[in-house]
Amino acid sequence: MTSTASNGPGFFGELLDPAHRVDPYPLYERMRAAGPVRLGSMPVVVLSSHADCTAVLRHRDAAVDRSHAAIPMGPTPVHDLAGEFGAGLTGIAPMLFRDAPDHTRLRRLVAAAFTPARVRGLEPRITALADAALDRAGARGALDIVADLAYPLPVTVICELLGVPPVDEPRIREWSGLLARTLDPIAAVGAGRPDPAELVRASNELHGYFEQLTRYRRTRPGTDLLSELIAAEASGAALTHDELIATCGLLLIAGHETTVNLISNTVLALLRQRHHLAILRGARAFAGAVIEESLRFDPPVHLVPRIARAPIPLPGIDLERGDLVILMLAAANRDPAVFADPGRFDPARHDRHLAFGLGQHFCLGAPLARLEATVAINRFAARVRRPRLSEDPPPYRAHVTLRGPAAIEVEFDAIAPAA
Ligand code: HEM
């Protein structure tokens, strides 16, 4: 079949419009109903159905290496935004933008250091961090779920995992916040776009920071993930120095700019549907189902890109070689062909969402994200007495791809002491 072109640029313009950030789902419904769309005559296609997104994520010719694109692109989005493909940038593309065999090699090394046992072992620490965050809010008598719980928790966890000293966390946050915005489709960053010079600075400073930390850890290895990756590099296990640094940057940004949204979106859903919060108070194990449904219903990552490195025929469109394909995961997660009554938050569903992607690039940090969110909502449910939303809907960040609330102010009667 040939390409569909109707409505493409219109939908895309709407997608980037900040007015849709609070509730993009009616737009996604229209996009899905319209089927695959090509943006005018451009080599850019937007796919919104569960079947199309799944087919592309599993397809061997759906690449992430941006050099396959028909429109000229740098090796990472930061390169595109930093000016003539990253003038002045140091560093190389991390595994998220690399295909096999490099991707396979890098992913295997990180997966070996990022084991389920290591993640499970973090639970007591994550619980202590969540309790400390709620203690601070209790002492102040005010709670913003985003600033007080959802953001600091994953930042501290990923920094500790990588062996970043706590004193450096504020700098890490600044770099990561700036760089997260670069994952948005390029046109979206127009108005509030970070200054390219700022991006180059943030990216180079992050790179330089991990250069320094790596140098330090080479002589004083710890039990952290970075030390294990350095050992892999030293053992000749095919991880170059630049790849090591790029991996650290990826883990750092992927490790918290997403989980913040998962915790925030889940608390928001619980405060809007309080019967689930009541169940959670009595049965902590319910958290797993609540989080899976939150990942489907309001995912932290709304879209991921792919590039067709060869023609890919789909039922509603033929992807051409070089097409940039935007996969609307958040739209696929509400596809009525897969999920009955998709606009209803129902933790009893079976898990077939695409929130963590699928196939070769399936999120490496999914077990950690699930654990952090489970602990956060269980501590919230157990300790915060009669929580109410101060403002509904809350304000949202400008980000299109990593969409989530900017703040969730919660009123409450008390925050009970940690048991
Ligand atoms: C709720 C939180 C999270 C969500 C929704 C999420 C989502 C995703 C998605 C959709 C992808 C696939 C991207 C693609 O296919 O192009 C991905 C990849 C990745 N994620 Fe996550 N992520 C989360 C948390 C984390 C955490 C906590 C870490 C690490 C500490 C992490 C590390 C990674 C890495 C390294 C990749 C690249 C994997 C590869 O290229 O093979 N993520 N994530």
16 band by pLDDT with thresholds 50, 70 and 90: confident
Q: Is the pLDDT of residue 194 over 80?
A: no
Task: Please tell me the least confidently modeled range out of 192-196, 229-233, 353-357.
Answer: 192-196
What does DSSP assign to residue 284?
G
The amino acid sitting at 102 is D
Q: Is the pLDDT of residue 1 over 80?
A: no
Top-ranked range on mean pLDDT: pick from 1-10, 182-191, 224-233, 366-375:
366-375
Report strand pairing: 324-328 vs 44-47. Answer: parallel
Task: Kindly report the protein residue whose alpha carbon is nearest to atom 43 of ligand 1.
Answer: 363
What digits encode the pLDDT tens for the residues 27-78? 999 999 999 999 888 899 999 999 999 999 999 999 999 999 999 998 998 8
Is 80 domain-assigned?
yes
Which whole-number Å values give the CA distances from 152 to 10, 13, 295, 323, in the listed order? Answer: 37, 33, 20, 38
Q: Using N-to-C axis directions, what is the helix angle for 123-140 and 152-162, rounded to 10°?
A: 140
Report strand pairing: 303-308 vs 62-63. Answer: antiparallel
Quick one: pLDDT at residue 190? 53
Alpha helices in 220-258 (DSSP H): 225-234, 241-256
Alpha helices in 114-181 (DSSP H): 116-120, 123-140, 152-162, 169-180
**Total domain count, the chain:** 1
CA of 330 to the centre of ligand 1 (A): 15
Owning domain of residue 390: 8-415
Ligand 1 atom at shortest distance from the alpha carbon of 362: 12
Of the candidates 243, 175, 203, the residue with the CA atom closest to the CA atom of residue 83: 203
Question: 3-state class of 200 per DSSP?
Answer: helix
Is 1 domain-assigned?
no
Is 64 domain-assigned?
yes
Residue 298 belongs to a domain with what CATH number?
1.10.630.10
**Cβ-contact 70, 309 below 8 angstroms:** no
What digits encode the pLDDT tens for the residues 214-256? 999 999 999 899 998 888 777 766 688 899 999 999 999 998 8
CA–CA distance, 22 with 158 (Å, rounded to integer): 28
The token pair at 228 is: 């294990």
Question: 3-state class of 364 per DSSP?
Answer: coil
Quick one: pLDDT at residue 186? 62
More confident residue, 344 or 231: 344
Ligand 1 atom at shortest distance from the alpha carbon of 158: 30
Task: Kindly report the protein residue whose alpha carbon is nearest to atom 25 of ligand 1.
Answer: 365
Q: Which of 98, 103, 258 to mutate to test the pocket of ligand 1 (most atoms within 8 A of CB)?
A: 258
Is 341 domain-assigned?
yes
Task: Kindly report the protein residue whose alpha carbon is nearest to atom 23 of ligand 1.
Answer: 258
The token pair at 258 is: 């997403």
User: What lines the ligand 1 site, CB under 6 Å?
Assistant: 95-96, 107, 158, 250-251, 254-255, 258-259, 262, 300-301, 304, 355-357, 361, 363-365, 368-369
Is 193 domain-assigned?
yes
Is 189 domain-assigned?
yes
Task: Kindly report the protein residue whose alpha carbon is nearest to atom 17 of ligand 1.
Answer: 363
What digits encode the pLDDT tens for the residues 268-311? 999 999 999 999 999 999 999 999 999 999 999 999 999 999 99
Question: 3-state class of 347 per DSSP?
Answer: coil
- pTM for the whole structure: 0.95
CA of 301 to the centre of ligand 1 (A): 9
CA–CA distance, 29 with 97 (Å, rounded to integer): 29
CA of 251 to the centre of ligand 1 (A): 8
CA–CA distance, 372 with 370 (Å, rounded to integer): 6
Q: Which of 363, 377, 401 to mutate to test the pocket of ligand 1 (most atoms within 8 A of CB)?
A: 363
Is 2 domain-assigned?
no
Quick one: pLDDT at residue 5? 42
